[in-house]
Structure 1
Amino acid sequence: MRIAVLRGPEAFEVVEAPVPVPRPDEVLIRVAVSGVCASELEPWLTGPPAGEERHLGHEVSGVVAEVGADVTGLAVGDRVGAWVTERGFAEYVAVRAAYCVPAGAGPLDLALAEPVACAVNAVEAADVRLGDDVVVIGAGFMGNLVQQLAALRGPRQLVVADARADALERAAALGATRVVDVTREHLPDVVRSLTDGRGADLTLECTGTQAALTACGETTRMSGRIAVVGYHQGAERTIPLAFWNWMAFDLVNAHFRDVGVIMRGMAVGMRLHAAGRLSLDRLVSHRFPLAEIDRAFAALRDKPAGFVKAVITFPEAG
């Protein structure tokens, strides 16, 4: 089989490797799609330590090709989303059967169960409440997912902010009550004008940038909630902690490492997706074959016009 191996900065090599043999509690998945996650951008940019290599890829969906001796509830031919921690940029991956969820009947390149789980768990942890005034900072892939899921909770205002016109157009189409181009409008002023001067009950930061983190404290009301959904990597971030203390913000780290939480989020997300309550139709914008994986990561880095999400596809598996 073919697998992408990160050898250096911005340098994958596609090599031949043995097809994994599933253990008794595992299944072998013929990968149909593997998403390019923002959390993997920094490792791609910097490369592994000298003399080492890395096997990235954790947003996998595909078709069960083989089942281990102890596996029940899954069969060859089943379409699944899977939670894996590495080696997802490959034609096959072995994974515990317990870490798979049904992917539904739709296109597998839209059944991105792992990132959907991140959004599901973030919205649940942030505790969006009926009638809340909610701000989502960032209208990229994760922001779009969070926006849709927050809308299911019944907020009064659902304001989405970004600097890109195409992203704001997409957020409006997904049902935002107000979009804010932060290059033209002052987000805190807009939010106050919509909330009787109070500020947002909840602000969800979905970009992983310092500017968005700073804006959270400026848009959220006293004793409101701030959820850090974006993945922060690279340079250290700063916040005016004395002000945030004074404002009595409820801070939510919307990142999860407990496998049970991740799997529940995947199951819930795929149920909503299969039922048409969570749409990914416009969110997978760039598709690349495995041989062009560096181009996929470059698209994530550069965010060309219309970019939302890049995936690596293996069409023969679908």
Structure 2
Amino acid sequence: MRIAVLTGPERFEIAQVPPPEIAPDQVLVRVRACGVCTSELPAWRGDPAGDYPRHLGHEVSGTITLVGAEAGSFTAGDPVGVWVTSHGFAEYVAVKAAHCRPAGDVPLDEALAEPLACAVNAVEETDVRLGDDVVLIGAGFMGNLVQKLVRLRGVRHLVVADTRPDALERARDLGTTRVVDVRVESLPDVVGELTGGRGADVTFECTGGQAALDVAGDVTRMSGKIVLVGFHQGGPRSVNLAYWNWMAFDIVNAHYRDIDTIMRGMTVGMRLLASGVLSLDTLVTHRFPLEEIDAAFRAVQDKPTGFVKATVTLD
């Protein structure tokens, strides 16, 4: 089978290797698509240097082709979204049956169960409530997923902030009370006006950058929740901890490592997707064949106009 192997900074090579063998509790999945996650960019760029070869890819969907003797109720031909931690940019992956969720009739290049689980868990664990006022900072792929899910909760105001005009236009199309271009408007002023000076009940930080942390505390009410959805890599981040202490913020770290929590998020997310309550059809915007995987990563890095999500697809 073909598999993309990262052999150096910004350099994948396509290798030919035998398909993986499966354990009794595993299934063999023919990969249809694997999303490129922003968290993988540092590895692609070569951080840390010299740690090669690497096998990236963890946002996998595909079709089961072989079922282990203890793999439960799945059968060959079942379309699934799966959770793996690596080796996803390949024609086949071996995965525990317990880490697969049915995809139904959803197009498989949109059945990205792993990032969907992350967004579901961020909203569920935060316990967004009916009538809440919500601010969402960052209108990329994860921000869009969180926005879609928050709207299902029946909030009062949903304010989305970003710096990119195309991202703000997309957020507006997905349904908001207000979009804010933070290059030209004050997000705290807009939130204060909408909430009568009270501030947001919940603020989702979906950028992974310092600038969003700088403003998150200024738009959240006393004893409100600040949710860290963005993946903060690289150097240390800072917050005005004295102010955050005084405001008694509830900080939710929406990065879960407990497998049961991840699987619950996948179950909920794939149910919503398979039932048509939720759709990713406008969010998967860039598709690349395996041989062009470096171009897929470059698109994630450069974010051309209209970009939301890149996947590597295999026919």
TM-score, reference length from structure 2 = 0.98
Partner of 1:32: 32
Letter in 2 for 1:216: A
- State the partner residue of 1:178: 178
Partner of 1:273: 273
**TM superposition shift of 1:72:** 2.1
C-alpha distance after superposition, 1:161-202 (max 9, x if no partner): 111111111111111111111111110100000000111111
What SS does structure 1 have at the residue aligned with 2:284? coil
After superposing the two structures, state which structure 1 stretch, 280-289 or 49-58, moved more. Answer: 49-58
Question: What is the alpha-carbon distance in structure 2 between the residues aligned to residue 136 and residue 126 of structure 1?
Answer: 13
Aligned position for 2:283: 283
Q: Find the aligned partners of 2:247 and 2:9 in 1 and give their Cα distance.
A: 42
* TM-score, with structure 1 as normaliser: 0.97
Equivalence for 2:198: 198
Task: Report deviation, 1:154.
Answer: 1.1
Q: Which residue number corresponds to residue 75 of structure 1?
A: 75
1:34–1:89 CA contact under 8 A, matched in 2: yes
Deviation at 1:48, TM superposition (A): 5.4
1:273 partner letter:
L
Counterparts of 1:238 and 1:46, CA distance in 2:
25
Equivalent residue letter for 1:150: V
Deviates more, 1:6-15 or 1:199-208: 6-15
Q: Could you tell me which residue of structure 2 aligns to residue 304 of structure 1?
A: 304
Aligned partner of residue 19 in structure 1, secondary structure: coil
Q: CA deviation at 1:49?
A: 4.3
Partner residue, 1:119: 119
Q: Determine whether 1:107 maps to 2:107.
A: yes
Q: Does 1:55 align with 2:63?
A: no
- Which residue of structure 1 aligns with residue 233 of structure 2? 233
- Report if aligned partners of 2:118, 2:265 keep a CA contact under 8 Å in 1: yes
In the alignment, the residues of structure 2 paired with residue 277 and residue 189 of structure 1 have an alpha-carbon distance, to the nearest angstrom, of 34
Residue 18 of structure 2: aligned partner: 18
Q: In 1, are the aligned partners of 2:106 and 2:273 still within 8 Å (CA)?
A: no
Distance 1:51 1:251 in 2: 34
Unmatched 5+ stretches in structure 2: none
Corresponding residue of 1:248? 248
Please give the alpha-carbon distance, in whole angstroms, between the structure 1 residues aligned to 2:72 and 2:267.
Answer: 18
State the Cα distance separating 1:215 from its structure 2 match. 1.2
Amino acid corresponding to residue 271 of structure 1 in structure 2? R
Q: Is the 8 A contact 1:199 1:221 kept in 2?
A: yes
- Which range moves more in the overlay, 187-196 or 51-60? 51-60
| Maintained 8 Å contact 1:6/1:48 | no
| SS at structure 2 position matched to 1:56 | coil
The question of whether the paired residues in 2 share the 8 Å contact of 1:8 and 1:48 is answered with no
RMSD in angstroms over aligned alpha carbons? 1.0
Structure 1 segments of 4 or more deviating over 4 A?
A: none
On the 8 A contact 1:7/1:48 being kept in 2, the answer is: no
Matches of 1:171 and 1:276, distance apart in 2 = 20
Measure the CA separation in 2 of the matches of 1:71 and 1:208: 37
Provide Cα deviations, 1:134-185, integer angstroms capped at 9, x if missing partner.
0010111000000011111111101111111111111111111111111111
- 1:50 shift after superposition: 2.3
Change (3 A) 1:160 1:51: closer
Superposition deviation, residue 266 in structure 1: 0.5
Match of 1:89 in 2: 89
Greater shift, 267-276 or 42-51, is seen at 42-51
Residue 223 in 1 paired to residue 194 in 2? no
> Match of 1:100, as an amino acid?
C
Query: Per the alignment, in what secondary structure is the counterpart of residue 285 of structure 1?
Result: strand
Distance across 2 between alignment mates of 1:197 and 1:72 = 54
- Are 1:159 and 2:165 counterparts? no
Three-state SS of the structure 1 residue aligned to 2:215 is: helix
Equivalent residue number for residue 139 of structure 1: 139
Identity %: 66
Instruction: Report how many aligned residue pairs link the two structures.
Output: 315
Per the alignment, residue 211 of structure 2 pairs with 211
Instruction: State the Cα deviation string for residues 56-107 of structure 1 (Å, max 9, x = none).
Output: 0000000001111222210000000000010000000000011000011021
Return closer, same or farther for 1:112/1:302 CA change in 2, 3 Å cut-off.
same
User: What residue identity is the alignment partner of 1:126?
Assistant: T
Alpha-carbon separation, structure 2, partners of 1:180 and 1:200 = 14
- Give yes or no for contact 1:7–1:47 (8 Å, CA) kept in 2: no
State the Cα distance separating 1:126 from its structure 2 match: 1.4
Contact 1:6 1:47 (8 Å CA) reproduced: no
